[in-house]
Structure 1
Amino acid sequence: MNYDVIIVGSGLSGLAAGIRLAMFDKKVLILEKHTVVGGLNSYYIRKNRTIDVGLHAMTNYAPKGKRSTPLGKLLKQLRLSHDDFRLCEQEVSEIRFPDKSLRFTNDFELLKQEVREQFPDQVDGFIRLVKKIESFDELSLTTSEWISSRDILRGFISNPVLIDMLFCPLMYYGNASERDMDFYQFVIMFKSIFMEGFAKPVGGMLYILNLLVDKYKSLGGELRMSAEVEFINSEKGIFKSLTLVGGEELAAVSLISSMGRIETLRRCDPNLTEGVSNDSEGQISFMESLFALDREPKDLGYC
């Protein structure tokens, strides 16, 4: 069967792309090699408890009705309502280092107060940094030059611990380089986490994924699970078809791959991995520990 577009991967990006294409009457197929959707942002079940993997909180929270915000624009693009996401704002988050800690909520004033209390000699520089971030146009596509965020922050803040504490959640949520990040990306993450804040849907990732899958299928999109791509077939640099593990071949006008650049290149036939070294795969891994408590966080001192 021929498709307008085949999408490899049913993570959030793959599902969102499928929804947008299906809205405009494209014949779309999403292929997923695993048995559950979600990719890096999924879930598993242990002892009747559903546990989120990857995305535990959604950034860029905005109240209902704020259509000009990133969240408002996302909902408009997917033709979903704010109520559909069933979002609950965070109570409080904490950046905890051995000798210092900073709390923050969706009210940015708390973080300012925390910096004032924990780093009183740095607060003026922090306020100046915030003004620079607020005036920076992160939506502009005219500048492609990489700018060191550490160099920028050192111009406002002299305490390296505070710099690292500000970097910590931003790099965890949205950075793929070691020790530093592009200031363009830093501004995006600073605004999305500290200035707009966190929220979580009632029901977690399972609910959000089911919401997106239902939306995609309601528009006529097709989804195939346990369908692993073995080869991406091309001719003279033009995509022709996919060969699945097992030998089935699927043709489409266009292909969108969300499995990552290196994995995509490895599956291309003719091979496109010449010059791709192990260093190209990236050097960063994130680990996390999850704890199932027998009491409420408030009972342990968290408000």
Structure 2
Amino acid sequence: GEITPALLTSDDKWVLLRLDRAIREIDGALAEYKFSEAVNTLYRFFWSEYCDWYVEASKAVFYGEDEAHKANCLAVIDFVLSHMLRLFHPFMPFITEELWHGLGFNLDLPEDQGGKTIIYACWPKPLDEQFKAHYVLDETDEQLVEAKYDLIVRGRNLRREGNLQPSKRVKFVLKPTAAAVSPYDAEVLRILLNAESVEINTAFLPTQRTPMAAGAMGELFLPLEGLVDVDAERSRLLKEIEKNAAEIEKVQQKLANPSFTQKVPPAVLEDHRKRLIDWQAKQEQAQRSLEAL
């Protein structure tokens, strides 16, 4: 179907701008025969930006009741997928040919332009200024979505630091910055945080020690009342901190011992350095969680 500009969400606009960026980067990499860079760009766009973020955010539309918005979201997905298959084709010819026909992209095209085979389909072009103006694609929406996704990452970290399972339904409170938060963006936050609710409250006054994450979109709070047995969690964290400290000391002693560092293979030495960094990161997270209690 056709994409209707007035029905585009902020996430729709974001993924179209990211597609444009990916096409430009891939064109540049192929022009210089840097095939690995082209593949890395494809991987980043398809897996990290399209699958991890856009498809998940689209659930806010598909779980709703607005059929026009659902159809428009499908049109954006169709547009992006048709471009991605053509970008992937030089590297994955057989599966992209199968998907090109299986998803019906060949049906409305002349045989010499992709109707017979994806090989004849036009190579994707970057989105020009006329296209961007028609669909009102600019950096404002891109910045909004980046701020939204950053806050989601921070909110997920609050869960982890509070030892709350991802499946546990919790309530978040967002104290936004000056910009208003649309019902759609609030629903995206709720779905991607796997929250029971996300309350938008500009006058929220948190209790002492309520975990909070700050981002460009505002301050996100995770009230823990009724979610955590404070005494039991404090005891667990103290044990974890003690264990982490012992592991850190053990690795540090090895790395400070010339008999060890000068005799082991480089790969083993690097593994111990990485192990130290990992244990130190765990220790910092456990200490932050303890402070939050």
Normalising by structure 1, what TM-score? 0.22
Bigger share in strand: 1
Structure scoring higher RCO (CA < 8 A, sep ≥ 6) equals 1
Name which one, 1 or 2, has greater alpha-carbon Rg.
Answer: 2
Normalised TM-score (structure 2): 0.23
